[in-house]
Amino acid sequence: MRKIIIEKNDSDQRLDRFLMKYLDNSSRGNIYKLIRKKVFKLNGKRIKEDVFIKENDVLEIFLAEETIASLQKEEEKVEKRGLDLPIVYEDEEILFVNKPKGLLTHPDKTEYKNTLSTKVLAYLADYSTRRFKPAPVQRLDKNTSGLVLFAKTYDSLKKFNEKMRNREIEKYYLAVVEGNVEKNGEIKGKLTKKEGINKVQVGKTGEKEFHTKYKVLERYGKYTLLEVKLETGRTHQIRASLNHIGHPIVGDRKYGGKTIGNVRSQLLHAYKVKFDGREITCNSKEIDEFLKKYCK
């Protein structure tokens, strides 16, 4: 038998969701089967899968230790050395990192180890447990650089996910686009995902509504530097929006942009985030170098 004291990071969630993380080498079906067999007690009472657990609750698992161990994956050891993690801001709740271009935010089928999330998990190893691991609140495309927000605790993850849903977190990007953008504007419409090619299309009809605002920061004749504000957070929203109005992002070949010099992917950088009266910013070395070389 094993006794678990529920910690703050694990509180206020359903029992079945907690068990899916704690017994992470088991299937959802097997966990439900164990619940029906009354293998678990919470504060000395038999329970159902939809009960919510609270801080300092006592969860008992009436299985042999070797059985419990077989239902858990072996925890990976993390190495903090050589992370090269560009931290912009950190406090007890959150971490902002300036994601480099070419690095995935999350692991996927093409790359598992060398991602921003795995680097952050190594850095925040002391915050990780079997039941909770620090997680990003939002993501960026592989070839978009800039600020990514990570929650360090379960409470902060819930808090900032809710802020994101309620649009209490303002996100601003820098984009170098082709052509002379004459004035500030906004783009509204609907996006349809084009199956098989990881691309979206702007139209009057579509699957998801989007809203993009942009402001001219500087005009350079052939190119314009824009500040772009997201009012919605859709996949490839900025890239598709700017191409739709005839000003594709420099280097964004998927959405109409041209390759300029060694710029072979979008000059798009998440440079500013506002929330709770705070402002977090970071610059893009790539954009600065492009402007110095091509926009004198």
15: enclosing H helix or E strand: helix 15-22
Residue pair 98/145 in contact (Cβ under 8 Å)? The answer is yes
Q: Which residues pair with 185 in a beta bridge?
A: 214
Which residue in the list 141, 252, 276, 288 is annotated as catalytic?
141
Residue pair 214/239 in contact (Cβ under 8 Å)? The answer is no
Task: Report the SS3 class of residue 1.
Answer: coil
List Cβ neighbours of 77 (8 Å cut-off, separation of 6 or more).
none
Is residue 141 among the annotated active site residues? yes
Structure tokens given for 50 = 């939809």
The beta strand positions in the chain, using DSSP E, are: 2-5, 13-14, 40-42, 45-46, 52-53, 58-61, 87-90, 94-99, 135-136, 145-151, 170-178, 185-194, 199-203, 208-219, 223-230, 268-275, 278-281
- φ/ψ of residue 179, rounded to 5: 90, 175
Just list the catalytic residues: 141
